Amino acid sequence: MDITRLRKDLQKLADPKKAKVLSGFFKTAKDQYGEGDVFLGITVPDQRGIARKYANLHLRDLQELLLSRIHEHRLVALLILINKFKRADDRVKEKICAFYLKNTKQINNWDLVDLSAYNILGSYLRDRERSILQRLAKSENLWERRIAIMSTFAFIKEHWFEDTLQLAEGFLNDKHDLIHKAVGWMLREIGKRNQEVEEQFLKKYHQIMPRTMLRYAIERFDEAKRSAYLQRIKKV
């Protein structure tokens, strides 16, 4: 199996009509967050199939795919990397995580981040020191900031909420809508497991949270409670 054949297999699955739709959905026009991203128009299930077929590609080949402007090249590279990580021993997991962190600027659209951050970085950090998340959270790079908060999904699944809440507090003044959405989503995931913990955070910060962040966080609340939060009422 080699990278040239992988590219050819992806090209065979390309759909120009889907590519046009995806280019708009992922905001690839000038001055948008996905500017310059190129789509072939391939479904995620088909990309997962390609990733399974080329599961044994070397990291140097994945590096080449991650440097591609073509979105599906990068997504398939990350799918392969996730599968490698899940099968790896601790030594190889450390190597994969270092490779992932070296390539954060190539993980440069929200689906790429959301797919990979908790499966690789978050999973690796579950029983390790986590200061890297604070460094990423302070980055000027949008995608590194989103990687930071989305990595904590791995902790939330274990009912460990402290890191998510700490990062969420730091993101209250972030200017980007994609960070607001990610933080709100992770707060909602905390609430699925422990609504009291989520509401303690919301009661402290809901009056100053970006509205999108708040809306995502309270999506599963009943209508009366949602309305109370959205009206910036202190007693909910």
Among 89, 105, 84, 137, CA closest to 36: 105
pLDDT digits (tens, 9 = 90+) for 186-213: 999 999 999 999 999 999 999 999 999 9
Architecture of the domain made up of 1-103: Alpha Horseshoe (1.25)
Residue spans per domain, the chain: 1-103, 117-236
pLDDT digits (tens, 9 = 90+) for 51-105: 999 999 999 999 999 999 999 999 999 999 999 999 999 999 999 999 999 999 9
Q: How far is CA 95 from CA 1, 109, 124, in A?
A: 22, 23, 11
Which helix (H) or strand (E) segment holds residue 153: the answer is helix 153-156
User: Is domain 117-236 annotated with CATH 1.10.357?
Assistant: no
Q: What is the distance in angstroms between the CA of the first residue and the CA of the last residue of the chain?
A: 58
For residues 25-49, one letter each, b for 16 or more C-beta atoms within 10 angstroms of the residue's C-beta and e for the rest, the string is ebebeeeebbeebebbbbeeebbeb
pLDDT of residue 221: 95
Cα(80)–Cα(84) distance, rounded to whole angstroms? Answer: 6
Long-range contacts (CB closer than 8 Å, 24 or more residues apart) made by 99-104: 99/59, 99/62, 99/63, 101/132, 103/63, 103/66, 104/136, 104/141, 104/143, 104/144, 104/147
Which helix (H) or strand (E) segment holds residue 64: the answer is helix 59-66
- Mean pLDDT value of segment 13-19: 97
